[in-house]
Chains A and B, each alone.
Chain A
């Protein structure tokens, strides 16, 4: 009998395997993610990390194993029932996943307008949309269409749409893929800002170790309005102190080959992991 996940568990994978015809995209992966946690999944292209993220909200069905999301077993749930649970999770897709046919304001308002549980007045929706866009520093784009924005801006709008309902869990699929380093840092800073303003748990899928490093070592200071490094007092601790509750996971060809803190990740001697994590030259 599989044990039910405890109350603080947002997402739990139990021996999940996903196949696409002959190809095993995710192979027997188990992990558990609790509230307030930041999880960074590293892996090269085709390692199964995006598949894992999509399986977390039932966009891709698992072939074996079980997936629990916000306390519900979604493994064999019908699509109609899934809609309600999914609407409680924020998702940023790789290119933003914005709807081309409607403008930015409507895109950001979509999760609010579409949600069945809470009815909001048009004014309340408008205020929330403005707030969400101010959060990602794109207030001036309300009436523009997604194709008028740059790749980085589209992703910022995607973040605004993902967090407008203030979900307890936000999933980010390769938020920095295909962006220049400066824009990528801006996006990651926004994600950290979102995490520390809303206290949401984050699952971030990425190819860049720097993205995870930023999440693990920086915190958004609400008073000053910028990121600041977190103090690391536990230098003597072999696990390293982990004030941002950031856990790293590394995927390789569908297998989960590492799960642990940044300190342990950097101490790893695995050749595949070393490709992502720059060595400290002492």
Chain B
């Protein structure tokens, strides 16, 4: 009766096994430090320009939209706190994660997928290397380190974007904007703003690796794996952020 659910449940099970092995490998040798550093460079430094660009314009847009809404209540000077809270709690982590998912979940899936279809994964196993240890764990560690850092950059650049509009278009003073924005943030905001990207990092890296390693059917299969990785990673980012937000809102 529920046969149509079987493939999904089997896939979830495979995903959990992969995640379990990748996590266990963090604590046991051999460690491939050079692969971790290389992945940090690709994922972190490589994503920096796009994260800065998108972060800036997100700040700009929120400020413009909010200033119009706030004007109805005569509270335009409160735009700083609103930008700070929306960015740090939600938009910074989620937008950065979705960008990195688009850039790196796809990159990881296509790289591992190509390795799978050209039998490089089999060759690796035949030569006595655990592909999860060599390929999955370094990508997971690198993303878990870099995504929170990228999020901090995005938050900060977003606040600058908000400041530019607040200063030029709304006419707030520099100290008015920054002081109110800074004061609006509580530890709870910072905690969830950093915990979220940390959790998203595992989603991005593991989903990318999962679909990459499952690739079958030649070059066409690689394309399919790449698309699936981005879609599934993005959906999970939104699902998980809803759950985490629910938890943190209740904590207040």
Interface positions of A (Cβ within 8 A of B): 54, 57, 59, 79-80, 83-84, 86-87, 89, 91, 93-95, 97-100, 110-111, 114-116, 161
B residues in contact with A84, CB < 8 Å: 128
| CB-based contact A114/B119 at 8 Å | no
B138 vs chain A, min Cβ distance (A): 12
Across the interface, B125 reaches (CB within 8 A) one of A59, A94, A99, namely A59
| CB-based contact B127/A87 at 8 Å | yes
| CB-based contact A97/B122 at 8 Å | yes
| CB-based contact B120/A97 at 8 Å | yes
- Bin chain B's interface residue count: 10 to 19
12 contacts between A and B (CB under 8 A): A80-B130, A91-B123, A93-B122, A93-B123, A94-B119, A95-B119, A99-B115, A99-B123, A110-B127, A114-B129, A115-B128, A161-B127
| CB-based contact A97/B130 at 8 Å | no
B173 within 8 A of A: no
Across the interface, B119 reaches (CB within 8 A) one of A57, A83, A87, A97, namely A97
B126 within 8 A of A: yes
Closest B residue to A54 by beta carbon equals B122
Q: Tell me the complex Cα distance, A122–B126, Å.
A: 23
B219 within 8 A of A: no
| CB-based contact B126/A86 at 8 Å | yes
Closest 6 CB pairs of A and B: A97-B123, A87-B128, A83-B128, A93-B119, A97-B119, A91-B126
| CB-based contact A98/B129 at 8 Å | no
A158 vs chain B, min Cβ distance (A): 8
B residues in contact with A91, CB < 8 Å: 123, 126-127
B41 vs chain A, min Cβ distance (A): 14
Q: Tell me the complex Cα distance, A94–B118, Å.
A: 8
Q: Tell me the complex Cα distance, A110–B124, Å.
A: 9
B116 vs chain A, min Cβ distance (A): 11
Closest B residue to A93 by beta carbon equals B119
A residues in contact with B118, CB < 8 Å: 95, 97, 100
| CB-based contact A86/B115 at 8 Å | no
Mark interface residues in B106-138 (1 if CB within 8 Å of A CB, else 0).
Answer: 000000001100111011111111100000000
| CB-based contact B127/A114 at 8 Å | yes
**Chain B interface mostly helix, strand, loop or mixed?**
helix
Q: Tell me the complex Cα distance, A100–B129, Å.
A: 16
Mark interface residues in B83-122 (1 if CB within 8 Å of A CB, else 0).
Answer: 0000000000000000000000000000000110011101
B134 vs chain A, min Cβ distance (A): 10
Q: Tell me the complex Cα distance, A194–B129, Å.
A: 25
B226 vs chain A, min Cβ distance (A): 17
**Known A79-B130, A80-B130, A100-B115: A86·B125 in contact at CB below 8 Å:** yes
Question: Which B159-209 residues have C-beta < 8 A from chain A?
Answer: none
B72 vs chain A, min Cβ distance (A): 57
B residues in contact with A89, CB < 8 Å: 126
A204 vs chain B, min Cβ distance (A): 16
B residues in contact with A54, CB < 8 Å: 122
B residues in contact with A99, CB < 8 Å: 115, 120, 123-124
Q: Tell me the complex Cα distance, A100–B114, Å.
A: 10
Q: Tell me the complex Cα distance, A99–B130, Å.
A: 14
Q: Tell me the complex Cα distance, A54–B119, Å.
A: 11
Q: Tell me the complex Cα distance, A100–B116, Å.
A: 12
Closest A residue to B129 by beta carbon equals A114
B residues in contact with A94, CB < 8 Å: 119
A155 vs chain B, min Cβ distance (A): 12
Question: With contacts A86-B125, A95-B118, A98-B123 known, what are 16 further pairs, Cβ within 8 A?
Answer: A79-B125, A83-B129, A83-B130, A86-B127, A86-B128, A91-B123, A91-B126, A93-B123, A97-B126, A99-B115, A99-B120, A99-B123, A99-B124, A100-B114, A100-B120, A114-B129
A residues in contact with B122, CB < 8 Å: 54, 59, 93, 97
Q: Tell me the complex Cα distance, A57–B126, Å.
A: 7
Chain A CB within 10 A, most for which of B120, B124, B126, B128: B126
| CB-based contact A98/B120 at 8 Å | yes
Q: Tell me the complex Cα distance, A91–B124, Å.
A: 11
Q: Tell me the complex Cα distance, A236–B108, Å.
A: 62
Q: Tell me the complex Cα distance, A93–B114, Å.
A: 15
